[in-house]
Structure 1
Amino acid sequence: MKLILTNEVSGLGAPGDVVEVKGGYARNYLIPRGFAMLATKGAEKQIAQIKRAREVRDVRDLDHAKQIAAELAALTVRHAARAGDDGRLFGSLTATDVVEAVSAAGGPQLDRRRIELPGHVKTTGKHEVSVKIHEDVTGRFTIEVVPG
């Protein structure tokens, strides 16, 4: 089944890409979650619009991506979260929390969908976070979760 991706899908493609997938995967997962739409002749305008939006959001080039990765590595990121006496959080750290903490620390604006957390972060302390900045560049930094 031929689809146009509307969101980035790991291992499949980026927004605006035309992909061929199995029918069940398309009907049961991609289309209901809004990750893709059927590829029709009238959808070419939508592909162009999605690609224009992606170009604005994407990193300019490889050098710019490396610069952002170096900026992230030098950054000290702290996030205050509600926690119990034993250091366990009430809930867990989310990608949105990480994006807000990086912005508050003076770092670059990140896309929450490209944040890769090390599992479910449910304790205070330091945790390693990865960000897929460019297809060839992954930025890594440490976020310190403190009770607050």
Structure 2
Amino acid sequence: MKVVFIEDVPDVALAGETKEVADGYGRNYLLPKKLAVLADSAASNILKAQMKQVLARRAQAEAEMKEIAARLDGTEITIRAKAGEKERLYGSVTAADIAAELGNMVGQAIDKRKVDLEEPIRQLGVHEVTLKFTHDINAAIKVLVEAEEAAPEAAEKEAKEEKKPRARRAKKAQEEAIAAEEAEVLAEEAEAEGEKLVLKLEESEVADVKTEEAEAKAEETESKVKKPKVKKKSTKKAEEKVEEKESGE
């Protein structure tokens, strides 16, 4: 299958080129993705006419990129950044940082996507970086990352700012320790009051039991000592008996 490429396909063809490709690859991938059209179709004739202009602009752009690549190849740029112990950066140097520095050097914007950087730079020193403008236009540069020197006043201010959080943390820790001690004292006092209350309740219960026992013993003693009452005969009956006795005599 012969097709005309509408867009660049890496490692296959550039836009505007006419190439023979496998039927399955063309039918299942290139044509559905609108990356190419059939070379014998009416659309291909229109596309070829349009692509002449595209290719002309591409050629001009490639010529400019070759010129920039030639100017940058083998150069060294310096980027300063804040660093800490073991020469490790606080932040990092990214592809955008490198592209911006290169743009300042050549007086023309450099696309950060042209900077082939696997991961941001996080260490001081010299780092080799490749610029990939196209699949066959490259440039090798060196990026020197140096520690940013702070002015004496700025360094002093930064040191003070670093001390502030430590002082605040120390003060907060002290306040928390005092609060914890106070809470512990209050808890101990509450526990002591609770124990006193329990003791009073126990003493009250014991006193009630003793009182009940004493009352029971008193009742028992009283019942033993108390004598039964003797009923007295009425005076009238006694008088009647005396009268009967006298009348009999």
Is TM > 0.5 for Structure 1 vs Structure 2? yes
Query: SS at the partner of 1:76?
Result: strand
For residues 55 and 33 of structure 1, the distance between their equivalents in structure 2, rounded to whole angstroms, comes to 25
Structure with higher Rg: it is 2
Q: Percent identity?
A: 25
Q: Could you tell me which residue of structure 2 aligns to residue 24 of structure 1? A: 24
Query: SS at the partner of 2:130?
Result: strand
What is the RMSD computed on CA atoms of the aligned residues? Answer: 4.3
Higher RCO (C-alpha under 8 Å, 6+ residues apart): 1
Q: Which has the higher helix share?
A: 2
Contact 1:16 1:48 in 2 (8 A): no
Q: Work out the number of aligned pairs and report it.
A: 132
Instruction: Give 5+ residue unaligned stretches, structure 2.
Output: 82-87, 146-249
Q: Could you tell me which residue of structure 1 aligns to residue 50 of structure 2? A: 49
TM-score by length of 2: 0.38
For residues 33 and 112 of structure 1, the distance between their equivalents in structure 2, rounded to whole angstroms, comes to 27
Q: Could you tell me which residue of structure 1 aligns to residue 119 of structure 2? A: 121
TM-score by length of 1: 0.56
Instruction: Give 5+ residue unaligned stretches, structure 1.
Output: 81-85
Change (3 A) 1:4 1:108: farther
Q: Which has the higher strand share?
A: 1
Change (3 A) 1:31 1:61: closer
For residues 98 and 50 of structure 1, the distance between their equivalents in structure 2, rounded to whole angstroms, comes to 35
Q: Could you tell me which residue of structure 2 aligns to residue 36 of structure 1? A: 36
Q: Could you tell me which residue of structure 1 aligns to residue 5 of structure 2? A: 5
Matches within 5 A, 1:105-120: 106=106, 108=108, 115=114, 117=116, 120=118
